Structure 1
Amino acid sequence: HTLTIKQQATQPIIRICTTMSKLSIALIAALSILQGGLVSARCRCNCGAIPSSNPFLRQQCEAGNRFNGYGVPCGSACSITCDARFQVGSSCGDCIDANTMLFSCDIQDYVSAASVKPGEHIRTLSSEDNADVCSEVYYTFAHEGISGALEVELEDFTKVTVSNNHLLYTGSTFASREATMAKHVKIGDKLVSSDGSAKAVLSVKDTAAELVNVLTMEGSIELENGVIISTHSFNENLYSAAFYPIKMMYKWIGAPAVKKAQPYLVELEFMFKPYFSIFAESI
């Protein structure tokens, strides 16, 4: 009986958070229409998974990615199209490589990004005073299958693998960092490190990986090589605004409430990603 009362008490909060989420996304959508018209998330196939022994097929795939997205949006239709035409998966995810190693403050050891769960604490730097901090994870999501990604190799020969639109911190220090989409990172740029140094970029290459989302309260995570990256894609302010209601839902109610919102969040990614892209490219 007590549990039932508690559940009833949390329902208004869940409704409020859901409404806030929809309003934040609706605002982004409305502004995007004013910016340049309504667009849909175009399908992209993982062309990098096509064997190099078949360059013609890879060229066809890349041409489709660049131009009309095969006439279908991201989602199940995209996955079916990519498999039927090229025997590869879709490339619609925007996250980090599932095999990326993160430092878990809970077990005092490195763990794969794929194994991280809401409620765990991941080491990063504080946005307030740049000091070491353990930031709580409030949301995780694993994208289905293999997606296209970028492999950024650094001067110490370690690598950072993320989706094209994921944000990396360029600059000399964390305090002076600039959030830059991975696809805009160039050879010679420097990625911010937790020890106060910066690591120069040696190369940026197309690759493929299983991608996962790991969102922390702080909005950043430290990788095993010491590099600090954002947990967001496209633009930190827009991404934070979209997920703010989910963060509050987690703080007020806990992980179960966020889990119930999972279908909405998946829909958010596929339907509204273009709006993030429009603004990120125009700012």
Structure 2
Amino acid sequence: AKLTCDCPSIPPVSVEVEGTNCPSDSEVTAACQSACQGVGESMEAAHCTNDCLGEHTLLFSCSAGRYVKAKNIKIGESLRTMTSEGPVCSDVYYKFQHEGSYAAVAIDVEGVDEAVVVSQNHLVYVGETFGDHKAIPAKDVRVGDMLVAKEGPKKVTAISETMSGLVNVLTAEPSLVLESGVLISAHSYSESLYGYTFMPFKIMYSMLGAATMGKLMDNADTKNALTKLDYYMGYGIDIIS
């Protein structure tokens, strides 16, 4: 007989497995746990690789006066970002750390020791100068492309797949300046659509303040909700864009 298992993945998935004619509750539980394990892992990886920074990405904290890893950044912290008028310090209004390690893209550029590590659909800036650049998903970058950097464009020398912890860090001004000087977006898929989608969080931050927003985002129930929300937001933007 076939058993239908409702797997608690993101999004939920139902799978059918072979079972005995009259399985006991324990047999059903064991069969479904085994069937859902791979589904849950693959779906979790799929949602997390949509729109995240590598957790070891170094960003300059104007608040701390030094470079910090993306995974250690707090809501309310001010990071160095780029605008058409030059570098500015911009508040972090949203941060979500995904648990575990996931597939990511590592982009090596000339003159830089550390690769740019982001998820496949995270936007990087291809072009000669900021303002005349094109924001494209990391998965579409090619060897030989020029990435926008603070001191002049840098050529992509290699691209590879890697595993990394991933974190979503959003700032009021969405163009991040990495320690290497390379400029990338804080957004994924589409800079404008991504910004509009997360606008409610920016409004909440401006109304509640950093301390309250930070506590809210650290709440276990909020984290569980954001795990699903982060996936569906990215999935929806991907379809539209």
TM range (shorter): 0.7 to 0.9
Aligned to 1:124: 81
Is structure 2 residue 62 aligned with structure 1 residue 101? no
CA 1:182–1:42 in structure 2 vs 1: closer, same or farther (change >3 Å)? farther
TM-superposed CA distance for 1:79, in Å, is: 8.5
Deviations 1:189-240 (A, max 9, x none): 1111122x11111111111100011110001211110011101111111110
Structure in which a larger fraction of residues adopt strand: 2
TM-superposed CA distance for 1:81, in Å, is: 1.2
In 2, Cα distance between equivalents of 1:90 and 1:237: 25
TM-superposed CA distance for 1:80, in Å, is: 2.8
Which is greater in Rg?
A: 2
TM score, norm. by length of structure 1: 0.65
Amino acid at match of 2:71: A
Aligned to 2:5: none
Deviations 1:161-184 (A, max 9, x none): 000000001110111121110001
TM-superposed CA distance for 1:155, in Å, is: 1.3
Aligned match of 1:239 in 194, 199, 202?
194
TM-superposed CA distance for 1:96, in Å, is: 0.8
In 2, Cα distance between equivalents of 1:135 and 1:113: 14
In 2, Cα distance between equivalents of 1:267 and 1:95: 15
SS of the residue corresponding to residue 183 of structure 1 reads helix
Give the RMSD, CA atoms, in angstroms: 2.7
CA 1:100–1:245 in structure 2 vs 1: closer, same or farther (change >3 Å)? same
Moved over 4 A (4+): 40-43, 82-85, 260-264
Amino acid at match of 1:177: H
Aligned to 1:110: 67
Is structure 2 residue 99 aligned with structure 1 residue 144? yes
Q: Is the 8 Å Cα contact of residues 239 and 276 (structure 1) preserved in structure 2?
A: yes
SS of the residue corresponding to residue 151 of structure 1 reads strand
Is structure 2 residue 208 aligned with structure 1 residue 253? yes
SS of the residue corresponding to residue 170 of structure 2 reads strand
Unaligned runs of 5+ in 1: 1-39, 44-76
Unaligned runs of 5+ in 2: 1-9, 14-33
In 1, Cα distance between equivalents of 2:181 and 2:35: 36
Amino acid at match of 1:123: R
- The total of aligned residue pairs comes to 203
TM score, norm. by length of structure 2: 0.76
Q: Is the 8 Å Cα contact of residues 105 and 138 (structure 2) preserved in structure 1?
A: yes
